[in-house]
């Protein structure tokens, strides 16, 4: 394997582990689905899957993870706006 191929596989596996960890932490009640940590794990995990899926021409997987990443990004924006509005009211 070339260094690029190894990097693509590492990024893909890291993405898989992040999404799995996010699911485990929510299932165990350690984080909520509305937490920034959960959303960042999903966003970064999806990004890893996008890189890996695109490389392997697994376009359905890459497309699904673009949508997954967008949902996480929107959730993070909402969390950021909510946090900003709560601190500006003080």
- Residue 38 belongs to some domain of the structure: yes
20-37 confidence digits (pLDDT tens):
999 999 999 999 999 999
Q: How many structural domains is the chain composed of? A: 1
The pTM assigned to this predicted structure is 0.88
Lowest mean pLDDT among 15-29, 42-56, 71-85: 71-85
User: Six-digit token pair at 25?
Assistant: 């932490």
Give the C-alpha distances (Å, rounded to integers) separating 55 from 6, 7, 16, 44, 59: 11, 11, 15, 17, 9
Q: Does residue 17 fall inside a structural domain?
A: yes
Residue 78 lies in a domain: yes
Average pLDDT over residues 38-51: 98
Q: What angle do CA 23, 26, 28 make, to 5 degrees?
A: 105
Residue 56 lies in a domain: yes
């Amino acid at each position: 394997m070339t260094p690029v191929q190894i990097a693509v596989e590492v990024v893909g596996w890291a993405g898989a582990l992040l999404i799995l960890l996010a699911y485990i932490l929510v299932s165990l009640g350690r984080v909520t689905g509305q937490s920034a940590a959960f959303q960042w794990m999903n966003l970064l995990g999806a990004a890893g899957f996008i890189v890996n899926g695109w490389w392997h021409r697994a376009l359905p997987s890459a497309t699904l993870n673009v949508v997954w990443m967008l949902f996480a990004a929107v959730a993070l924006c909402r969390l950021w706006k909510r946090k900003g509005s709560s601190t500006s009211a003080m």
